[in-house]
Amino acid sequence: MAELPGSVSIREVGPRDGLQNEEPIPTDAKVRLLDALSRTGVRRIEAVSFVHPKAIPQMADADEVWQRAEKVDGVRYSALVPNTRGAQRALAAGFTEIEVVVSASDTHNRRNVNRSTDESLDDIAELIDLLHGAGATAEVIVATSFGCPYEGDVDPRRVAAIVDRVARDGADRVAFGDTTGMGTPRRVRELVTAVRDRNAHLPVLLHFHNTRGTALANMLTAMELGITEFDASVGGLGGCPYAPGASGNLATEEAVHMLHDMGIDTGIDLDALIEAAELAETLVGKQLPSGV
């Protein structure tokens, strides 16, 4: 086995990616969950997304949630935006770390935003300039990096070409989303290698779903390749699973348990995280995939 890192950074995405894929819950509940997670020792949290309320009603109260949330020193909070209007709202709210998304699969991108991948990349180039002009950083998330529900396999060279483009346009970092849960250790190795061969300087984060039970194996493979930044969602919230009974997002507490057992530091208090997962389960009113 390759040498593993001594520490790993987890970005908690439950408040945004998790709740966005669940039935809407009250603003008070969202604030309670965000505050509980801020006190677990996690160093990064994806707090909200600034999207049109008709498109994503779960995030209709993003401004109020963020305004009321406790901001804990040492925690980096980020927001997801779909377009210029969303970016302007995020900047006005005080965010300095902002994420935008494009799909590696052209079909998936058209189904999501009614435009081609190349057209979205043109928009993202303008967004990057806007964010940098306001003193914020831009992370480009490449969805369907490991496979598409419409096109099937996605060639790692296509993903690497997208990274080439956003790197030229000034992206500060990139993330790769396993949107369908098709990721396997082989696919992780091929994708990371393809990207690193061409843009070794660019910080990389991986976002795994556990739909087919491979998320922890994928994380381990990525760590062997030198990746130290990952997304995870408390309790396994959200993730849009594509198989009956299968979970979606990688559960943060499962990832942290594995990492700590391997002697890899995350800075996270596992007991506090489990309490946050129990709270999340109560707030959404159903048993979550991690089974806390």
Question: Tens of pLDDT along 82-128?
Answer: 999 999 999 999 999 999 999 999 999 999 889 999 999 999 999 99
What is the model's pLDDT at position 247?
A: 65
Single-letter amino acid code for the residue at 14: G
What is the model's pLDDT at position 206?
A: 98
* Confidence bin at 243 (pLDDT 50/70/90): very low
- Of 246, 249, 234, the closest CA to residue 279 belongs to 234
Strand partners, 80: 49, 99
pTM more than 0.85: yes
Q: Is the pLDDT of residue 207 over 80?
A: yes
Lowest mean pLDDT among 56-60, 95-99, 212-216, 237-241: 237-241
Question: Tens of pLDDT along 156-189?
Answer: 999 999 999 999 999 999 999 998 899 999 999 9
Cβ neighbours of 261 (radius 10 Å): 8
Cβ neighbours of 29 (radius 10 Å): 18
CA 160 to chain centre: 19
Cβ neighbours of 67 (radius 10 Å): 11
Single-letter amino acid code for the residue at 244: P
Residues with a known catalytic role: 240
CA dist 165 → 124, 159, 168 (Å): 10, 10, 5
DSSP classification of residue 150:
T
The position carrying tokens 């009250």 is 26
Question: Tens of pLDDT along 64-76?
Answer: 999 999 999 999 9
